[in-house]
Structure 1
């Protein structure tokens, strides 16, 4: 382990205590300055990103990285607009820490409070996407957490310029300790970062399936995230076809290189002959490669100019991150649910139907972090869910699930306020009795 990394991690852990005690106004001042700085330094960001894009294209041409990775790397004015909007949305969000979540009267005059607080020091390891830096930095700052970032070498110039701009803005405008935020640059530091379980409280990985699995398999630190994004849309026999065409097209085509894009389309057999011909024609205009089971192949095979293949068993569990789609005709909603729970990744799955019973059954039976009715899977995103931005999407079933915003960066502590109480007072021969009553009482000293 490098002494420099260990020094940074220790300093960030110590600075997290200072940040945790700061009020929302001071943190918002830093966030507003960060947003203004990104706007003022657009040309520098885009210029640095161009270097990364050039290098990434060479790697892609040599077969070393995918086109999806290149797509995620690109930063333009629209992407910078999104970074700024995400930060400003975080400014408007309520500070998640210092809130009384529960209060219990233990006994007369003795109260127990459950109070929200920051997690502490977050390790963020990510591939490609430079917009991860302002997204997670803003959420961690507002929620009172320190961060150690480790980005991929393919985005080294973009990450550094964005990080430096944000740090300079924080130092210039606020009392937030700059030591709270650190960017690691060498490849060798990844394993060192993952070994810092004495100081780092949570690791958030952002990247490919293989990348996330590697992180999960190589650290004792708790990991928040997901490895796969195998998302589905099920078109029910009671679907409104106009809605179905829009939802299914957007779910696959709007941005195929991300984890919440649809990879498998399930269509009820009663509606498939009417629905699929037009749907497949729409996909053809977007150059989508179609991989069909036997029943959908029979419907689509006569469409001219279609990039059509037979589906293989492995396709049902594949996250393509590309303009490729598997299609299966199924007999019932129960079969759709079984297919999703068996082959999906518990990320995001959608149903298109007008039947309320089928809506309820789908939502209750599909075991995914986001279930959607009559809308695109692409909505499963922290910004679109109104969280300002997201630290990641989690398919975990503990702590935080789905698109995770600031609520996933807060935990809680118990605060017991007594008046010289002792446990002996409550024993069999003591003078006090437990009341254990829930009360509406804010923790305030």
Structure 2
């Protein structure tokens, strides 16, 4: 079957989604959650085939890995999405014009959503659940690294759909080869929007080559600024969590900015990172503070190349700044506009940081690890948008909708 035939099947299936009741949608998602757990052993076996082809030291290995606990989390997210109300059909505004025309603006699905992603099999379920809940068709292009995992997940989804007499083309998995990516990027008459999830290289490639509209979910180059007034115990725990909870995710900490009045406390702030063997690239002042107080084999001088990089690994850059202004300047220069944080007890500085930092999620005295659709109460996410048009931050159900105008009249004609 040609890919155009696949795209045509997806476009056709989009019309049938509007006929499925909200109760049926929720029931299908709950049934899928059940089937994932029933087929847990099968899923882990297929996932192991993918893991066996990847170096365990590859930062993507952790993202690729499925386990019993992760499948439980995926099933839990499915149940959460099933309980949410779909925004489709919601009235955004309505009014009557002087000529008697009645205007109403209502939410509608985006249509056929293409998602290109790398070694993240959980995305297969997240995207399907959110698209299905909002009446969108999902056309998925996973990477070859996760081909066995993605195919296994799709087979389970299709089994549930067919058991419920629903067109299985409401979710399509394209072949993992590059030609499928090219076809998707050029599927102007079939795909309404493409959302890439993955490395900056992938996102840039999609943006530069797609003829279909793109919503960017950017890489996370994440900073945390330790202000002069920061609570040290609180900051220490936040830094550890933001850096080491899961280093392979886009909301993990990449660069620690430390006020020069707090630099004497740097060894205390980062001492717990040594247990995770975090390599620190420290600027001159930070290096002086850590020399002898942090393992020599984990402490290296920082160069310009260590700032503005998404490590996705047990690595951290540290830069000393003279004040809030310098911290803001550094973030403005190197940020990917994903997640940024300030640790401070100075309300004026907190307010200035939250107001002036241009990012999808801006934190005060909390770990950037919370930038996640599930944590934000969205059930799951289709990605974290770092652009400003249409959607920004974790994208859930509402972000998978557009709107249309409903106009009702009684014979009005325009002069």
- Interval containing the TM-score (normalised by the shorter chain): over 0.9
* Structure 1 pair 157–219 and aligned structure 2 pair: CA distance change class (3 A): same
Q: Which residue of 1 aligns with 2:295?
A: 305
State whether structure 2 residue 156 is matched by structure 1 residue 165: yes
State whether structure 2 residue 67 is matched by structure 1 residue 69: no
Q: CA deviation at 1:124?
A: 1.0
1:141-198 CA-to-partner distances (Å, cap 9, x unmatched) read 001000111111111111111111011112213x532121111124021111111011
* Structure 1 pair 300–52 and aligned structure 2 pair: CA distance change class (3 A): same
Q: CA deviation at 1:110?
A: 2.2
Cα RMSD after superposing both structures: 1.3
1:227-254 CA-to-partner distances (Å, cap 9, x unmatched) read 4210011111111111100111111111
Q: Which residue of 2 aligns with 1:219?
A: 210
Is this contact kept in 1: 2:218–2:338, CA < 8 A? Answer: no
* 366-375 or 27-36, which deviates more: 27-36
Q: Distance in 2 between matches of 1:39 and 1:277?
A: 44
Is this contact kept in 2: 1:130–1:159, CA < 8 A? Answer: yes
* Structure 1 pair 304–122 and aligned structure 2 pair: CA distance change class (3 A): closer
1:295-348 CA-to-partner distances (Å, cap 9, x unmatched) read 111111122524111111121111111011000111111111111111111000
Q: Which residue of 1 aligns with 2:54?
A: 56
2:130 to 139, 146, 153: 139
Written as runs of structure 1 = structure 2, the 5 A alignment for 1:12-161 is 12-57=10-55, 67-107=58-98, 109-161=100-152
State whether structure 2 residue 397 is matched by structure 1 residue 406: yes
Is this contact kept in 1: 2:138–2:172, CA < 8 A? Answer: yes
Q: Distance in 2 between matches of 1:316 and 1:53?
A: 31
Q: Which residue of 1 aligns with 2:285?
A: 295
The structure with the largest alpha-carbon Rg is 1
1:357-389 CA-to-partner distances (Å, cap 9, x unmatched) read 222111110000000111111100111111100
- Secondary structure in 1 aligned to 2:150? helix
Q: Which residue of 2 aligns with 1:177?
A: 167
Q: Which residue of 1 aligns with 2:267?
A: 277
Q: Distance in 2 between matches of 1:346 and 1:134?
A: 26
- Secondary structure in 2 aligned to 1:262? coil
Is this contact kept in 2: 1:280–1:300, CA < 8 A? Answer: no
Written as runs of structure 1 = structure 2, the 5 A alignment for 1:175-214 is 175-187=165-177, 188-214=179-205
- Secondary structure in 2 aligned to 1:56? coil
Q: CA deviation at 1:24?
A: 1.2
Written as runs of structure 1 = structure 2, the 5 A alignment for 1:263-412 is 263-274=254-265, 276-306=266-296, 307-412=298-403
Is this contact kept in 1: 2:103–2:408, CA < 8 A? Answer: yes
What's the TM-score once normalised by structure 2's chain length? 0.97
Q: Which residue of 1 aligns with 2:4?
A: 6
Q: Distance in 1 between matches of 2:85 and 2:9?
A: 27
* 24-33 or 377-386, which deviates more: 24-33
Count of residue pairs brought into register by the alignment: 413
Q: Distance in 1 between matches of 2:6 and 2:98?
A: 45
- Secondary structure in 1 aligned to 2:388? coil
State whether structure 2 residue 410 is matched by structure 1 residue 419: yes
* 376-385 or 208-217, which deviates more: 208-217
Q: Distance in 2 between matches of 1:337 and 1:314?
A: 19
Q: CA deviation at 1:84?
A: 0.5
Q: Distance in 1 between matches of 2:32 and 2:217?
A: 29
